Amino acid sequence: REDLWVREGKILNPEKLFFDEKGSADIQLDCKDSIIAPGFIDVQINGGFGVDFSLATDDFKSGIDLVSQKILSHGVTSFCPTLVTSPPSVYHQVLPQISIRNGGAHGAGILGAHLEGPFISKEKKGAHPEHCLRTFKEGAFQDLLATYGSLDCVRIVTLAPEMKRSSEVIRELTKRGICVSLGHSVANLSQAEEAVQHGATFITHLFNAMLPFHHRDPGIVPAGRRVFYGMISDGIHTNPAALRIAHRAHPKGLVLVTDAIAGMGLAPGRHTLGQQVVEIDGLNTYIAGTKTLSGSVATMDTCVRHFQEATGCSVETALEAASLHPAQLLGIEHKKGTLNYDSDADFLMLNDGLYVQATYIAGEEVWRQDALGM
């Protein structure tokens, strides 16, 4: 109901302007009853618009630039490009081409890579190619380094905590400020809890690619206050009732992720996900010739709307699951994910149906719904 003041890319405390500087606004914008919300942060996105982050190409940079430009219309202002299980040669070629950068008119900001695999369970590999999966050998952390080549731009690593020697890997990654996520796993509750004690803070797409819930051993569940969990709220990967259960059990830990693949934004048909061919049929995506789900083609704003509808939560709660919670997960909530004073002026204008009308990064308009689409 009030004004949002922005200067030099940050959200400004107007008291300073009024009382210390006796200033006023240079530009005023009437937001016409829009909701203003922090920009969305997608911590698990495998590609989109024909671009697959797990394919090593010489023009990888132009692909990542295209995706970061196109997701502005979904309200995403920063993201973690995600690589699914791949051969070491792919990591060695792709990771040096990912650089952490601020968003702007060129596209959403890049917060660092999310490496989902290859240290995951064969039984719960989902859409990950089995021949590329790995276990930890002696000198487990050195093994991980050799596989990835470098951790310079890595923000999140998803691994299966039941693997031998995973504890030392979790400790080493955490020490370097890298978020460890548990996923694609057959871990039981005590293995998951032990991983959390060693520093794991996230669960990759809760309910997908893990053991089904059992009342005597619930498997990987958000244990304790410090654990966040991703949910693919596309109406396909998670039944609305499961979304409701998770949300009621631990609302502050829920992080919406798209898990989007190259086929997002494209017509149905055959596309890729790393080493695999996938088929898209409506919002369903399967590994070609199977009924194994493989990522999603839902956009982040679609996931927010579906989440709000499925759980009946407040608009604020739905928006925070795509902004505040991922920022807290990555430890950047002092800069992103809120509209607090001094935070980055990455924000959205949405209508009452939670459709994105305009996207701003550092206080600059980077995308607007054209007049016809309003």
**Is 205 annotated as contributing to ligand binding?**
yes
Burial 275-311 (b: 16+ CB within 10 A, else e): bbebbbeeebbebeeeeebbbbbbbbbbbbbbbbebb
**Is 194 annotated as contributing to ligand binding?**
no
**Is 127 annotated as contributing to ligand binding?**
yes
**Is 1 annotated as contributing to ligand binding?**
no
DSSP 71: G
Burial 136-148 (b: 16+ CB within 10 A, else e): beeebbebbeebb
- 3-state secondary structure at position 97: helix
**Is 116 annotated as contributing to ligand binding?**
yes
Question: Using CA atoms, how far apart are residues 31 and 180, in angstroms rounded to an integer?
Answer: 39
Question: Using CA atoms, how far apart are residues 201 and 156, in angstroms rounded to an integer?
Answer: 10
**Is 208 annotated as contributing to ligand binding?**
yes
Q: Which of 42, 234, 259, 301 is catalytic?
A: 259
Is 20 catalytic? The answer is: no
Please give the C-alpha separations between residue 26 and each of 7, 17, 30, 341, 364, in angstroms, as whole numbers.
10, 12, 13, 19, 14
**Is 295 annotated as contributing to ligand binding?**
yes
DSSP of 235-286, one letter per residue? SSSS-HHHHHHHHHH-GGGEEE---B-TTTTS-SEEEEETTEEEEEETTEEE
Residue stretches of the annotated binding site for Zn(2+): 116, 184, 205
Residue stretches of the annotated binding site for substrate: 127, 208-209, 216, 237, 293-295
Which residues are part of the catalytic machinery? 259
